[in-house]
Amino acid sequence: MKSVRPIILVHGGAGPRAMTSPQGDCLRAALQVGYHVLDRGSSALVAVEQTIRVLERSGLFNAGTGAHLQLDGVRRMDASIMEGESLGSGAVASIEGIVHPISAASLVMEETDHVLLVGPMATKFARHFKMERQPFTGKPRRFSYESALQKIEHNRDKHGTVGAVALDRTGTVAAGASTGGIDRMLPGRVGDTPIIGCGVYADNEAGAVSMTGLGEGIIRLAVAKSICDLLERGKTPAMVARLVLQKLVARIKGSAGCLVLTPQGRFTIAHVTPYMAAGWWDGKGEPTVKDRFR
């Protein structure tokens, strides 16, 4: 079988804020980690996990140690990961107190017959495997639903997720994402990130997708799977991303960005938000990182 040139794509969220210099540096470092995993002959799945772990640990993004606190003062996180050969996938939602939710999602895929674990049981699962804990996970506090619902209505623009997609030498694709949700969200709120087919999807017969943006809209259109379905029909990544994101805006005034990668190595980075911190690297030259892709 002919060897495929590996490639890694990464994002640090899409929204109204421009990428900072430290965030750009971190994205470049994450791309270097992910590509070197691929270059050594390891799988796209491992590359995606290791790339996202760099972002989770940094504290610079809305994931891992940098995740938002929910309105009751607690940090709850979501993550998912999927590979395109067997459609293996794993996810966690509302997990607390660990540095790397993406690795917890990977363990769900590798160590169980399940796809998604949630809440305190997801946290206990991670602790069973002695995953590294965060030193600070928030301080519980009381809140009013009346005032909370008003804040949420005026806070639709502030969101973010980190994620990656990769293609390894065997032609297998993988996708993953990790998030702390949106600012001032209700306790227990879960967005698109841990829902396979919404926040992520990977299929060697189509491609790999990692989403970022306002999760409620992404869920309603099952965006990641919708993109993969169009890829499977032979449409290009750029065309598919444009069509689906335009539909997201037209139908429900959604807000999102995406990484899209095919098993042939074609890819696009697209968004309908003012900014999307993202980049890619195929081992040639230096990694490409910027916050606008048009």
pLDDT per residue over 246-259, tens digit each?
A: 999 999 999 999 99
pLDDT tens digit sequence for 44-92? 999 999 999 999 999 999 999 999 888 888 999 999 999 999 999 999 9
pLDDT of res. 142: 83
272 in a structural domain = yes
67 in a structural domain = yes
Taking residues 158-163, report their average pLDDT. 76
The domain in which residue 184 lies consists of: 7-290
pLDDT of res. 170: 97
Are the beta carbons of 48 and 81 closer than 8 angstroms?
A: yes
178 in a structural domain = yes
Please provide the size of the chain in residues.
294
1 in a structural domain = no
pLDDT of res. 157: 47
Q: What is the CATH number of the domain that holds 140?
A: 3.60.20.30
Q: Each residue of 258-281: b (16+ CB within 10 Å) or e? A: bbbbbbeeebbbbbbbebbbbbbb
- Residue 241 pLDDT > 80, yes or no? yes
For the sheet with 116-118, list strands across it.
116-118, 89-95, 77-83, 173-179, 162-167, 7-15, 275-281, 288-290
Tell me how far CA of residue 35 lies from CA of 128, 133, 290, in angstroms: 30, 27, 18
Beta bridge partners of 275: 15
13 in a structural domain = yes
- Residue 159 pLDDT > 70, yes or no? no
98 in a structural domain = yes
* Active site positions, annotated: 161
> What average pLDDT does the structure give for the chain?
93
153 in a structural domain = yes
pLDDT category at 143 given cuts 50, 70, 90 is confident
128 in a structural domain = yes
Tally of domains within the chain:
1
Q: Could you tell me whether strands 173-179 and 162-167 are parallel, antiparallel, or unpaired per DSSP bridges?
A: antiparallel
